[in-house]
Amino acid sequence: MSGGPDPRDFFHQIAEHLRLEAEFGGDWIPVVRRRLASPPEQPARQPRSSSPPSAPGPTFRSRASEPPPEARGPRGKGLSRPDPPVRTTDPEACAAGRAGLDAIAAEIMRCKACALHEGRTNTVPGHGHPAARLCFVGEGPGADEDATGLPFVGRAGKLLTRMIEAIGLERSEVFICNTVKCRPPGNRTPESSEMRTCWPFLERQIEVVRPDVIVALGRPAAQMLLATDRPMNRLRGRFFRFRRIPVMPTYHPAYLLRNPAAKSDSWADLKKVHEFLAGGRIDEEEGSAGDAVESSAPASPPDSSQGKLFG
């Protein structure tokens, strides 16, 4: 019997890569996407846990229970649409939230609290639904964002939009912002002092939106929210908490553009977020207990000299 690699593993890896490209909207495999649009019938999976009802355990829904493709996300692919997609559509509540975010944005526009104001064209406060259940927090504005005043509008922003759509949501249903609201020169990583100075704006935005879950895009955002200096490989893929709000650190879309192989990790992280939004609980194994972090401000400022994830 040969001891060489099983060729089936190779084909499984290719199939997984193509599936991820299709889920994230890759444009170079239309044939694969058409095939994925009509998946073969599969028998329902057995529950993951046989624990009695009173015992805590994984309760995430399996993909076997998802609705048919026509009930899926806005692009007809990806995962099912979370219900409800936003916390409220009540006009008064939304107007109050919008007013709160607008007031913060107006303060940001006048802010000169750190040196980043010197090079900005526009402030980039954030954008999205004022009662979003899902909030994305990135690092800082780039050139496209500085030019438009909107977060995540360049190539990385397009990928983020595809990631949002892949978990059944539309971009208008989430809230997207950054840890600093003015562009760092040359798209460098914000200094820890700059992130600390800008922190009250992000803190207040989260208080207004009150999301059910936050996705921290990249190391600086994750370290800032979780008041930790842990490296990204010890953060991503697990739920932590910021003031009881689950936080899922994952890779920044700009990093994914440079490292497409990391898309599979990011997709796995987003699926956990989707499962939570769809009614699943955070599995105790995911780090919600021993690694919970309660913080109103970064106790341990991020060290910008650490290994640069995006550098």
Chain residues that interact with ligand SF4, rule: CB under 6 A? 108, 111-114, 116-117, 123, 180-182, 194, 197-198
- Closest approach, Cβ 7 to ligand SF4, in A, equals 53
- Please say which residue, 175 or 267, places its beta carbon nearer to ligand SF4: 175
* β-sheet bridge partners, residue 248: 215
CB of 141 to ligand SF4, least distance (A): 9
* DSSP letter (8 states) at residue 311: -
Evaluate whether 189 touches 257 at the Cβ level (below 8 Å).
Answer: no
Q: For the CB of residue 201, give the shortest distance to ligand SF4 in the complex, in Å.
A: 6
Query: Rounded to the nearest whole angstrom, what is the least distance from the CB of residue 223 to ligand SF4 in the complex?
Result: 17
Nearest 10 degrees: Cα torsion 65, 70, 75, 78: 20
Minimum Å gap between C-beta 178 and ligand SF4 is 9
Give whichever of 194 and 283 is closer to ligand SF4, judged by the CB atom: 194
| DSSP letter, residue 293 | B
CA atoms within 13 A on the CB side of 261: 1
Closest CA to 163 of 252, 239, 43, 100: 252
Residue whose tokens read 């207004």:
208
Q: Is 250 helix (H, G, I), strand (E, B) or coil?
A: strand
Minimal distance, residue 111 CB to ligand SF4, in Å: 3
Classify 246 as helix, strand or coil. Answer: strand
Nearer to ligand SF4, 181 or 236 (CB): 181
Residue placing its CB nearer to ligand SF4 in the complex, 217 or 278: 217
- DSSP state string for 86-118: BS---HHHHHHHHHHHHHHHHHHHH--SSGGGG
What tokens appear for 220 in the block? 């600086």
Give the residue from 305, 231, 274 showing the smallest Cα distance to 23: 274
